[in-house]
Amino acid sequence: MREKRLAEIDSLLAQPDIWKDPARTRDLQSEKSRISTILAQWQTVSTLWDDLQIFLDLAKEDEQGVAADITDTVARLERHCHDIEKAHVLSGRDDPKGAFLEIHAGAGGLEAQDWAEMLLRMYLRWAEMNGYIARIIDISSDEEAGIKHATVEISGQWAFGYLKGETGVHRLVRISPYDANKRRHTSFASVLATPEVDQNIDIAIDEKDLRIDTYRASGHGGQHVNKTDSAVRITHLPTGIVVQCQNERSQHKNKAFAMKLLASKLYELEETKQKERMNEFSKGKKEIAWGSQIRSYVLQPYQLVKDHRTNFEMGNVNAVLDGDITPFIDAYLMQAASPGGAGA
């Protein structure tokens, strides 16, 4: 079935006219890459399975001599089967794309702002550990501590597919470093992941619908900070969507990034409308609302990170906050792919 579809895609890509439609071409190339990856993984699994049968036959004569080979082959089979399962899960139209990740501190002043900055660091470390390029394109820092909000562009294949399940409210429980009485505090921050949209995609943005404001960039310092009105804020009047960028040194580059982010948000808005229309009569749809946290990070009185959607948990909180969130991502993707799961 997949081999047949791969042949169809190759046939389409061989036609000169297809290249006149860049969006269609990109979709086909993305689908081809996904199918080719799955087929290659299945080929590896088939080879490992054959190897395992040989080792099992040899074990009848010399069990100790091939015990290590059997253990290694089984472990490799499990890894590749897991990879195939994830490849099936990451089959959404936007999954192969890069992502924009927005983090907003909740109510609670410095405590919530510090938590938002901890989350920002966690995602930046995750991106680094997994070979993605992450750049902060907008950030609102507090002079005392933490951040009020930040927007990060994470570039690389499948970034959105992996991060889409991070959207929601994240809860921290710890002894507050800002409380002289050393009391336990609960803080909230929200995370929103949206797919990076190619500028060539058909997202109509009329200049008449935009209000563009410039202002002086703010941050932790730097030669260019607060010297020129290089930061750009764009308001899309029909929807009320506001985007801004202050990371670049020139107003022109900041505007370009802000427009890119606006296109992403408008695209996500349209996708949401379509999904809502399709699920108009579905019951039990849970909104991502303040207080309905998807994951809790508890530092005191015990140490545990727990995802409330999958019930997956890890006791090594420091490792998680240092970017080791892939097990949570995998657990969410596996559940989303199951009947009645998060993505059903």
pLDDT 10s digits, 140-174: 887 788 999 999 999 988 899 999 999 999 999 99
> Do residues 80 and 128 share a domain?
no
> Do residues 75 and 159 share a domain?
no
Q: What percent of the chain has pLDDT over 90?
A: 32
pLDDT 10s digits, 178-194: 777 888 889 999 999 98
Contact of 153 with 254, CB cutoff 8 Å: no
Q: Is residue 150 part of a domain?
A: yes
Q: Is residue 284 part of a domain?
A: no
Q: Is residue 213 part of a domain?
A: yes
The residue with greater pLDDT, 218 or 58, is 58
> Do residues 182 and 253 share a domain?
yes
Domain count, the chain: 2
- Taking residue 91's Cβ as centre, other Cβ atoms within 10 Å add up to 13
Map residue 133 onto helix, strand or coil. Answer: strand
Q: What share of the chain is helix, strand, coil (3-state, %, to 5)?
A: 45, 20, 35
Domain boundary among 44, 67, 89: 89
CATH of the domain at 179: 3.30.70.1660
Contacts of 198-207 spanning 24+ positions with Cβ under 8 A: 198/23, 198/26, 199/259, 199/260, 199/263, 200/22, 200/23, 201/23, 201/263, 201/267, 202/23, 203/263, 203/266, 203/267, 203/270, 205/236, 205/259, 205/262, 205/263, 205/266
> Do residues 104 and 10 share a domain?
no
Q: Is residue 202 part of a domain?
A: yes
pLDDT 10s digits, 90-135: 777 788 889 999 999 988 788 999 999 999 999 999 999 999 999 9
| β-strand pairing of 133-141 with 313-314 | unpaired
Contact of 121 with 114, CB cutoff 8 Å: no
pLDDT 10s digits, 226-253: 456 788 999 998 888 999 988 887 888 8
> Do residues 269 and 127 share a domain?
yes
> Do residues 36 and 123 share a domain?
no
What totals of helices (H) and strands (E) does the chain contain, helices first? 8, 11
> Do residues 17 and 53 share a domain?
yes
Range of the domain at 17: 2-89
